[in-house]
């Protein structure tokens, strides 16, 4: 059946036949539509004119592999490349290669599909998954990392520190008198304070630091390769960045190279509660 007589609405794949020298011998109407070339203009040209230059080597490698074996499973081998239209625009394509032999001439046919729509759907799906993953690791109220992200990052950092032999400091931070604020002014006021604190503290920590909302009014800060005096200064800056009239307590703990992530957090929590106790009872210092 002449492909030019194919009924309207019936999809026809682009079909391009190539001789042993890599020159086009057949170019059907669907190929004309996809690539923007007329048949007479490309027959005799190398198939490479239809492929983006950066994909020439991968294409040659696939064709060499196709002809390197007589195994039947090579027939119908599908590869993805970037096509090039007559106007120079590029698009993703899927090329199914089929081989046969005629006398001494090695011939093959490429069945070509424009997969732009499929790639777009895949890209949108990957972006959606990325956003969902980011949301799953982000505290909705403050925009900081959440408890799940903190647990994952702490374990990764301890593994890196074990290999790199450098210190890791965990700082637990707790807003002072937060319950009293909620009781006196309501949870909306408390939420507003947490959002303000999250925004302020993101501007203070270094790009190498990892800060998370640990839960309630408690925050956790992970400092890699940070000496004690530098950690103390950072805590002072976090204190200074709080809205006027508010303060926080902090507990610091350093990883000893062998304790678990849970033990390290527990040690920082003990230091935090000791800090809160002494702040409430300064005469006991």
Taking the domains of the chain in order of start, what are their residue ranges? 3-119, 138-284
Number of helices and strands (H, E) in the chain? 9, 9
From the number of C-beta atoms within 10 Å of its C-beta (0-12, 13-18, 19+), residue 66 rates as middle
Share above pLDDT 90 across residues of the chain, in percent, rounded to a whole number: 61
Q: What angle do CA 74, 76, 82 make, to 5 degrees?
A: 105
The answer to whether 30 and 14 are in contact (CB under 8 A) is yes
Using 50, 70 and 90 to split pLDDT, how confident is the model at 145? very high
The answer to whether 214 and 172 are in contact (CB under 8 A) is yes
Helical (H) or strand (E) element with 141: none
Give yes or no: 191 in active site: no
Q: Classify the C-alpha dihedral 97-100-102-103 as positive or negative.
A: positive
For range 265-282, the mean pLDDT: 82
Task: Tell me which of 85-94, 148-157, 180-189 is least confident.
Answer: 180-189
Using 50, 70 and 90 to split pLDDT, how confident is the model at 10? very low
The answer to whether 14 and 31 are in contact (CB under 8 A) is yes
User: CATH homologous superfamily of domain 138-284?
Assistant: Reverse transcriptase/Diguanylate cyclase domain (3.30.70.270)
Partners of residue 95 on adjacent β-strands: 79, 112
Partners of residue 172 on adjacent β-strands: 220, 251
Share above pLDDT 70 across residues of the chain, in percent, rounded to a whole number: 86
Nearest residue to 173 via CA among 60, 251, 78: 251
Instruction: Inform me whether the pLDDT recorded for 6 exceeds 50.
Output: no
Partners of residue 210 on adjacent β-strands: 222
- Per the residue annotation, which of 217, 232, 256, 269 is the catalytic one? 217
Task: Tell me which of 48-52, 104-108, 111-115 is least confident.
Answer: 104-108
Q: In the CATH hierarchy, which fold is given to the domain comprising 3-119?
A: Beta-Lactamase (3.30.450)
Q: Which residue has the higher pLDDT, 42 or 70?
A: 42
Q: Can you tell me the distance from the alpha carbon of 55 to that of 58, in angstroms, rounded to the nearest whole number?
A: 5
Max CA-CA distance within the chain? 102
For residue 187, the SS3 value is helix
Task: Classify the phi-psi angles of 113: left when phi > 0, otherwise alpha if psi is within -120 to 50, otherwise beta.
Answer: beta
Other beta carbons within 10 Å of 239: 15
The answer to whether 265 and 158 are in contact (CB under 8 A) is no
Instruction: Inform me whether the pLDDT recorded for 88 exceeds 70.
Output: yes
């Amino acid at each position: 059946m002449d492909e030019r007589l194919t009924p309207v609405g019936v999809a026809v794949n682009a079909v391009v036949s190539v001789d042993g020298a890599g020159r086009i011998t057949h170019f059907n109407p669907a190929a004309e539509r996809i690539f923007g070339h007329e048949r007479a203009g490309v027959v005799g040209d190398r198939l490479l004119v239809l492929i983006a230059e950066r994909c020439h080597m991968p294409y040659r490698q696939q064709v060499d592999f196709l002809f390197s074996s007589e195994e039947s499973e090579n027939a119908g081998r599908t590869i993805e490349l970037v096509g090039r239209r007559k106007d120079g625009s590029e698009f993703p394509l899927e090329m199914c290669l089929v081989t046969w032999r005629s006398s001494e001439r090695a011939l093959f046919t490429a069945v070509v599909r424009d997969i732009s729509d499929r790639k777009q759907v895949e890209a949108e799906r990957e972006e959606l998954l990325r956003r969902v993953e980011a949301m799953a690791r982000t505290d909705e109220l403050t925009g900081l990392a959440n408890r799940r992200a903190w647990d994952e990052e702490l374990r990764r950092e301890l593994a890196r520190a074990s290999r790199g032999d450098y210190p890791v400091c965990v700082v637990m931070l707790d807003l002072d008198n937060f319950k009293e604020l909620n009781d006196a002014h309501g949870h909306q006021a408390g939420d507003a304070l947490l959002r303000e604190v999250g925004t302020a503290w993101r501007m203070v920590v270094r790009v190498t630091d990892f800060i998370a909302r640990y839960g309630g009014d408690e925050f956790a800060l992970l400092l890699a390769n940070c000496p004690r005096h530098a950690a103390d200064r950072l805590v002072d800056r976090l204190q200074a960045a709080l809205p006027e009239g508010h303060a926080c307590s902090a507990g610091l703990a350093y990883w000893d190279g062998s304790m678990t992530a849970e033990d390290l957090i527990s040690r920082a929590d003990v230091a935090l509660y000791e800090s809160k106790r002494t702040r409430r009872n300064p005469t006991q210092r």
